[in-house]
Amino acid sequence: MTTTPGRIAIVGASAAGFAVANELRDQGYDGTISLIGAEALPPYDRPPLSKRKAIDIDDIALADLGKLEALDLNLCLGQRAVGLDTIDKIVRMADGRAVRWDACVIATGADPIRIPGVDSVLRTMADAHVIQSRLDRAGSVAIIGAGVLGCELASLTVSMNCAVTVIDGLPGPMQNRLGTSVSDRLRRHHEEAGVMFRLGQTVSDVAGNPDQGYRIGLSDGGTVQADAVIAAVGCRPATGWLKDSDVPVNNGVVCDENCRAMPGVFAAGDVANWFNPRFGRHMRVEHRMNATEQGMAVANQLLARGQPFDPIPFFWTDQGDLKLQVHGLVGPDMEIVRLDGESDDKRFVLAYLREGLIEGVLGWNMAQMLRKARPLIGRPRAAIADWAK
């Protein structure tokens, strides 16, 4: 017989950790929930940070204070977890305290990769404030990395009348995710807005400071000069604090299909590398949607009424007037079939296939039609003809 744990410690107080706590209470759990977060701010939503300027915490809080109080949490904010002891069942805190648990959820997210000489990254509200203050007095900005975050920052900064240069080692923006043809279309979208690209270039060195500006050396010997520079070259799962624990770590916390890393220990959100039975492989998904869904799934696991977690991943990105959305899995090595769209390529829906099977669908300014295409995921190519009717 499984019994419900009396004390649950959730390490990480962002979207995934908050979703666990919220769902536990929603399902009637009345035990002790400790929600531990390294940031001092109450749980908030991160995607708006790269999409809008001058954001206030009240606009993006995951719960207002009344709701947060009603959840009756042992909130440990501004307090960093530094270790996990799975024998004595405690989370060790930076200030020496210990938080005891009967079940623990690891939801520590991911940390942005830093580039020497570049002091701006974007992950937290504090990061966003630093970037905002720099951009307020910058005429030009260099963004290193043309992934989702770099592209969103390009649209945001170009809308603030900055001269924007985006640098990436790949031949096109988001190329390693979307493939060459969609990446080319995305490049055109940004160039039409005034963004400049230096592609196929790695950064060899960065010199400068916020007062005097920066000089970024590129692998072809060229340079980019800019008043501000932001690194957006991806994240690593935040597992450093687990190094002395016996929790299995390999590109995140390795979990089974129930998001369980070991007895009594679960993971959710960006940090979880779990086995998704729908696709038959382990995956780690740094998407906002996954944080909520996986958090809710883990809460139900904790209450012994969980099901294997087999979502169709979803992400969206807003880049200027472009709304790009993806259900399922897409990749540069996959075959692409056009499902719908307008002839001028302002709107379209694509299917991405691997070995004849549809694994993902992408919508370019075509959200409603994309939703209707989602049921194709997991179906063979032949299903497309029926769907089109």
Partner 1 sequence: MGKLKVEIIQDKCVGAGQCVFAAPDVFDQREEDGIVVLLDEDPDISKAPEIRKAAKLCPAMAILVEES
Q: Which residues of the chain form contacts with partner 1 (CB under 8 A)? A: 19, 22-23, 26, 45, 47, 62, 288-289, 292-293, 296, 314, 316, 318, 323, 325, 363, 365-371, 374
Kindly tell me which of 175 and 292 has the beta carbon lying closer to partner 1.
292
Residue whose CB is less far from partner 1, 120 or 290: 290
Query: Which C-beta is closer to partner 1: that of 18 or that of 241?
Result: 18
Which residues are within 8 A (CB) of 364 and not within 5 positions of it... i.e. 6 or more apart? Answer: 182, 185, 322, 324, 341, 345, 347, 348, 349, 350
Pair 376, 387: CB distance under 8 Å: yes
Instruction: Say how far apart CA 371 and CA 362 lie, in whole Å.
Output: 10
The CB-of-375 to partner 1 minimum distance in angstroms stands at 10
Q: Judged by CB, which is closer to partner 1: 185, or 374?
A: 374
Task: Name the minimum Å distance from CB 369 to partner 1.
Answer: 8
Instruction: Using the Cα atoms of residue 163, residue 156, residue 294 and residue 308 in order, give the sign of their dihedral.
Output: negative
Cβ closer to partner 1: 61 or 196? 61
Minimal distance, residue 371 CB to partner 1, in Å = 4
Closest distance of CB 309 from partner 1, Å:
14
Using an 8 Å Cβ cutoff, are 373 and 339 in contact? yes
User: Which is closer to partner 1, CB of 27 or CB of 251?
Assistant: 27
Smallest gap, in angstroms, from Cβ of residue 198 to partner 1?
30
Pairing of strands 281-283, 272-276: antiparallel
Least distance CB 316 / partner 1 (angstroms): 6
